[in-house]
Structure 1
Amino acid sequence: MASLGSWREILQSAIQNHKHLKHSQHLQLATVRADGRPANRTLVFRGFVDGTDKLQFTTDSRSQKTEEMKHCPFGEICYYFTETWEQFRLNGILDLIGSTEVDPSKKILREKAWFDSSPRSRASFASPHPGYPKSSEFEQPQLDPSQGAIDTFCVLTLDPKEVDYYDAKKGHRIMFKFLDEQDGNSIWSKQEVYP
């Protein structure tokens, strides 16, 4: 099992300190479009993948970000916590776990994420193609609550390689960088830097 970077404990503490605020689970994900331009959107943090530092989200297989990941598998998320003035920027490798996944552990992760989602969230994956013009004729389909994940449902993970933590109240900033895997453990460096 990987040893968890100390940035994770700081992030989990910030999330815990803000749990009374609904937006504390929301963050921004930046990717790169095929034409080199940036793309940014808000996602809901769905927890860490068990035993790892990977952050987990859900997404629709038809969304633009899935196409962007085919061009460039790197992304950066940004969290900002309003009460403690803490910012986290996590840069790493994105992985999309969809309906054609063959890795058994990833298939289990996807199915668990589906059943952990609310009925309303599940229904959104049965909606028409994201970004297409609306039609007045569309009726939201009813999903069987016992049915497994539908084809458009994906789990998206970010495997951090750099974490930039800034505490604006205290005026200090720490850079964490992933160095290597040794004997199944993740090795991270930690360096305080000027804000």
Structure 2
Amino acid sequence: MINISDDAWENEIAIRRLPSVELQFFTWAQLVDHRKIARCIDLTTRVCKLYIRRSTCWSLPLIGRNVTTLDLASVFLVPELRGKGWFKDFIDLADHAVPWDAILVECVHNPRLRSYLLSSGFIEVGQDNFYRPTKSWRVKHSWDEKSRELAAAEARASKPSSFLEFEEVVDVEHCAVLRA
């Protein structure tokens, strides 16, 4: 793999030399909790680029407060890989590999990915973000379909509403910001 250094930047450079995003990911995941590498990283090969983070969220419905997550913040695949299941396989791999509480997929604007995430037990939280407890968390806490449904209901109930939904009670004529 790589020679581990006390210098996080040297470790990141070494990880980027690994031949696959999967190897880069495994190595990063082993180092990040020990502060041997930054909590945010671009994993890159010639066909794929992922921007990921290890984060601590304030809370996620039915998981709790101070939840440690793997954030999949940005994904780029060359056209030949799109729609072929690569990202699904990566999520499955991450689900089994990380020791943290949940996987969070941020800013999902792709309708196919959105459908896949919902059909795979992910829960929409906020605007276009989806999370699912990791396999280890689901096993440890006996997470089942009923748990997922309760978490989804709680997430929907806490979803912020747009001001425009209250147009009848707001004088929109005098609110240029809302009209833009």
Give the TM-score normalised by structure 2. 0.24
The structure carrying a bigger helix percent of its residues is: 2
Give the TM-score normalised by structure 1. 0.23
Rg larger for:
2
